[in-house]
Amino acid sequence: MRDASQGERLRRAMRAALLGLAMAPLIPTPAPARELAPDRIAVAAGVVMAPDYEGSDDYVPTLGTGALIRLRGHAITFRGDSLSLDLVPEYRDQNSKIVAGPMIGLNFDRAGAPRDPVVALTRRRKTAVEGGGFVGFTKSGVLTSPYDNMSATLAASYDLGKVHRSFIVTPSVDYTMPLSRGVVVEASLSADVVGGRYARTYFGVGRTSSAVSGLPRYEPHGGLKSVSLGLGGAIALNGDLDRRGVLIGAMLNYERLLGQFAASPLVAQRGSPNQASLAIGAGYHF
């Protein structure tokens, strides 16, 4: 019979295969010998179909990439637009762990020319560099078997430049469950809370933008921006997610913009508060 560490490796292989939707590593109470988890690398790439900007109802395809690298017990996660490092080391044969560390990412929202001809007349935003950290807890053997996993994480970041000069806080809960040796599924629930400057930068309409686009002026405040639900899965082509090889996976995410964010003219008049994205790709688990 496989031990719990094999179930944990199933979860890691699946998360890396879903286009960089990487998870925080699982690390339980250290064994007496405190043997570090083995080094491991997983990479993935694919196509993501997502809204042109947050709040848009125009969908565009983009390339998605991701990687998970575990060296000397520490996990480095790359999602294509963000990079994070778990500072808490991982040990073998553990079923629960605290995760914590720094992260940095890029926010490309409205950095390019929107496809909507009216929104394209409003002021374009520069790419924001956002940095911060995360803290959370993960545990395996929660509901259905010794191999399923649940994690709860709180991430917070701030604009390191001068784009929106505000913060984003994201609490999230993820659940991963293997259906067999070669198939695993995942569900996630998260929310975004943002500051007032963030709200006005990406959902507001200033005087000049209003004059040239015809949209009404709008100055939202900070608060709960949205809630999101994600569903995904992965299949190992060799029939065993615990072995090295190619995996294929997909992830469907639904985000609902709320309150004053959904009421923004950029959303209510030119887009939609219902935001969906679909990622399909392949990865290799070393």
Given the structure tokens 């560390």, which residue do they identify? 101
236 touches 266 (CB < 8 A): no
pLDDT tens string, the chain, 286 residues long: the values are 444 444 444 344 444 444 343 333 333 444 455 799 888 899 999 999 999 999 999 999 999 999 999 998 899 999 889 999 999 999 988 889 999 999 999 999 999 889 999 999 999 999 999 999 999 999 999 998 888 999 999 999 999 999 999 999 999 999 999 999 999 999 999 999 999 999 999 999 999 999 999 999 999 999 999 999 999 999 999 999 888 999 999 999 999 999 999 999 999 999 999 999 999 999 998 8
Q: Contact, 88 vs 72, CB < 8 A?
A: no
Q: On the CB side of 32, how many CA atoms lie within 13 Å of its CA?
A: 0
| Alpha carbons 151 and 134: distance in angstroms, whole number | 12
The Cα–Cα gap between 256 and 91 comes to 38
The contacts of residue 80 (CB under 8 Å, 6+ apart) are 19, 20, 63, 64, 65, 66
Position 33 scores a pLDDT of 57
Q: What angle (nearest 5°) sits at the alpha carbon of residue 223, between those of residues 203 and 195?
A: 70
Q: What is the pLDDT of residue 5?
A: 42
Question: Residue 23: what pLDDT?
Answer: 35
pTM: 0.85
Of 264, 267, 256, 258, the closest CA to residue 220 belongs to 264
CA 209 to chain centroid? 31
Any residues with CB less than 8 A from the CB of 156 and at least 6 apart, and which? 132, 133, 134, 167, 168, 169, 170
For 121, phi then psi, to 5°, come to -80, -15
Taken in order of first residue, the domains within the chain and their CATH numbers are: 4-285 (2.40.160.40)
Q: Which two tokens stand for residue 173?
A: 């809960």
Cα(61)–Cα(276) distance, integer angstroms: 13
